[in-house]
Structure 1
């Protein structure tokens, strides 16, 4: 009897695995057809894609592979849609400018995020908001955000941002219309998050003197005084060649320092200039 029960259980498990495989293949074909109809790219599997993100539904899930991946450009935004094996369907939309501030919007029935740097901001519509910077997140969660959260599809369980990406998660049973709605919703949130401050550039070495540097202005060139090149003296210009005519009462340049000799044909009294020079030379 026990042997018969074991055989029945084994056969039942094999039947369930076969049905699950058939359903998965059918779901893959449906997604492939959906991607082809919208001129998107379809990829069967990528084991490294989930490791691109680390928050919310993808926290500590990088050991799972991404399957049935659809990628492309929708309304000017690059996106990925894939299944995290049999766990969830993920939508990721890329922003041109990222931010160091990450925001998490999730249903009130969903457990809080596992990240230690995510702090609770409060409720907004049917969602709860967590953020890495509460002061900035308060400015983002305005009336537009309230209206946005109230119009979200019910199957879009989580919404969050990290770096250059805005993401959302769906149940694995979601189908074509749900995928369209999810991509549009995540893209709308991505556009609203453009108001987040851009990431701060890491500083190399010591900080600037005289306070913080304005990131909107170029930094002055840093010059090491020890490597400053020595000043080169301008070359001396040789005087023009030729005979110089001496000034009357002064010796020629080559004979300065010598006692001036009186001309032999000088019969009269010495000139006033000679009288001034003579005592200095004696």
Structure 2
């Protein structure tokens, strides 16, 4: 009896796996045909793609692979569409300039994000807005944002931004028409988010004219704390008169007449008559 029930359960599990595999293959073929018709590129799987994103539907999903990946261009910006295995279909549009401010727009029926840096701004139309900087998010959420949130198709349940990416999610098993509308919605939001302040890069020290033999000072150190560089005497310009420096006398140049110095008399040269001694009779 139990053996028969186990066989029936095993047969049912095999049948479900077969139908699921068949449905996945069919979805992959449909998406490949759709991508080819639109002039996009298609890949079966990219394992590291989900690890580039960390918010909303892609929070803590690095262990999953991206399946049926489509890459193309819409509204002059690159986009990626892929399935996060059996979790969701993701659309990601890349902006030319990234931002440190991230914004999350989701339906009111969707649970709030678990990111600690996202704060609640309020409701705009049928969606709720969260942001990492509420002051900047208030300026972004103008009349264009209100009109946009009211025109987003309902199957795009979450929209958010991460750095230079604007993303949206929709349920698994969506059709080609829903993919098109989702890409269009995410691309429109990406255009609105161009007003976000760009990424601020840390100010680095000027390393172009630094002497490696001298210690590098910290930025903001007082000028008097900087060690002085020793100066070396510059060679005189060609044709300029040379100045006599104090110290030992310089030797005469070869061929120059020697000057008589005061002090003891010089001895006579060999063979020259000696002068008479004092008090001796003259001849």
Q: TM-score, normalised by structure 2?
A: 0.76
Structure 1 unaligned spans of 5+:
210-221, 241-254, 256-282
Label 1:108 to 1:227 Cα distance change in 2 as closer, same or farther (>3 A).
farther
Q: Which residue in 1 is equivalent to 2:236?
A: 235
Greater mean deviation of Cα atoms: 66-75 or 90-99: 66-75
Q: Which residue in 1 is equivalent to 2:272?
A: none
CA distance in 1, matches of 2:162, 2:228: 43
**Aligned counterparts, 1:28-67, within 5 A:** 28-67=28-67
CA distance in 2, matches of 1:227, 1:39: 65
- In angstroms, what is the RMSD of aligned CA positions? 2.4
Structure 2 unaligned spans of 5+:
206-217, 243-258, 260-283
Label 1:230 to 1:158 Cα distance change in 2 as closer, same or farther (>3 A).
same
User: Alpha-carbon deviation of 1:56?
Assistant: 0.5
Q: Which residue in 1 is equivalent to 2:102?
A: 102
User: Alpha-carbon deviation of 1:226?
Assistant: 4.0
Confirm whether residue 77 of structure 1 aligns to residue 77 of structure 2: yes
**Aligned counterparts, 1:253-272, within 5 A:** none
Label 1:239 to 1:131 Cα distance change in 2 as closer, same or farther (>3 A).
closer
**Aligned counterparts, 1:82-231, within 5 A:** 82-204=82-204, 226=227, 228=229, 230=231
CA distance in 2, matches of 1:229, 1:44: 66
User: Alpha-carbon deviation of 1:112?
Assistant: 0.7
- Residues 1-57 of structure 1 deviation map (CA, whole Å, 9 limit, x = unaligned): 222222112111111111111010000000000011111110000110000110000
Which of the pair is proportionally richer in helix? 1
CA distance in 2, matches of 1:161, 1:42: 24
CA distance in 2, matches of 1:208, 1:185: 47
SS of structure 2 residue aligned to 1:80? strand
User: Alpha-carbon deviation of 1:231?
Assistant: 6.3
Q: Which residue in 2 is equivalent to 1:68?
A: 68
CA distance in 2, matches of 1:32, 1:49: 18
Label 1:235 to 1:34 Cα distance change in 2 as closer, same or farther (>3 A).
same
Confirm whether residue 27 of structure 1 aligns to residue 27 of structure 2: yes
Label 1:227 to 1:6 Cα distance change in 2 as closer, same or farther (>3 A).
farther
SS of structure 2 residue aligned to 1:168? strand
SS of structure 2 residue aligned to 1:99? coil
SS of structure 2 residue aligned to 1:230? coil
SS of structure 1 residue aligned to 2:111? coil
Label 1:229 to 1:155 Cα distance change in 2 as closer, same or farther (>3 A).
farther
